[in-house]
Amino acid sequence: MWILTALGWELHADFPDLKKYVIIAAPHTSNWDFPLGILLVKALKMDVNWLGKHTIFRWPFGVLFRALGGTPVDRTQSLNVIQQTTDLFKQADTLVFALAPEGTRSKTDHWKTGFYHIAMAANVPIALGYLDFGRKQVGVSDTFYPSGDIEADFKWLAEYYEDKHGKNPENTSLIQAKEKLKEPR
């Protein structure tokens, strides 16, 4: 906590009093997002798991990232990560899984929907984590259960994150589901 304060950051955390949920972290526009997120989790003495691309788990960082709750995912292969993560929720008594729906620090035209489908399949809520570099605030607020209407839920998410700005705002991805992009125009 003292590190966050020394860096000028404010903590605004209203974590759900639940044993299982998915927490999303957005916007994700910089390499600084990860250390700030880890500082938040450690300041609150939380046990949070997260997925990361397998290439960041190479020596020497792999040992540290696994100790911090990381699980490598090879995104070049079809490994059914959604089903595997859903199974983890069903088997665990307590589990908090953090995911960055943008999936990259670069601007994209959609968010990845894995977090949404995991929460739906595991019947767990989604907590909204954020890193607002504009206000120097890191935190978690609202929690919701996905309705199954992905377009409506993503519209609500876009409104929620509208005033939260990443370190590199030009890299902020559009908050819409890829499924929406497949619809005829």
What are 134-153's pLDDT values in tens digits?
999 888 888 999 999 999 99
- Domain presence at residue 64: yes
**Average of per-residue pLDDT across 62-80:** 79
**Average of per-residue pLDDT across 166-170:** 86
- Domain presence at residue 55: yes
- Domain presence at residue 185: no
Specify the DSSP class assigned to residue 111: B
Tokens matching residue 174:
């559009």
pLDDT at 159: 95
The pLDDT tens digits for 82-92 are 888 888 899 99
- Domain presence at residue 104: no
137 phi and psi, to 5 degrees?
-125, 140
Range of the domain at 69: 48-76
pLDDT at 184: 40
Tokens matching residue 3:
């590190």
- Domain presence at residue 137: no
**Average of per-residue pLDDT across 116-140:** 92
- Domain presence at residue 67: yes
CB 153 within 8 A of CB 146: yes
Helices (H) and strands (E) in the chain, counts: 7, 7
pTM of the entire predicted model: 0.83
Which of the residue ranges 25-39, 56-70, 106-120, 155-169 has the most confident prediction, judged by mean pLDDT?
155-169
- Domain presence at residue 91: no
Number of independent structural domains in the chain: 1
Q: Label residue 182 by pLDDT band (50, 70, 90).
A: very low
- Domain presence at residue 69: yes
Q: At what angle do helices 81-91 and 114-122 cross, to 10 degrees?
A: 40
Measured in whole angstroms, the distance separating CA 16 from the mean position of its chain's CA atoms is 15
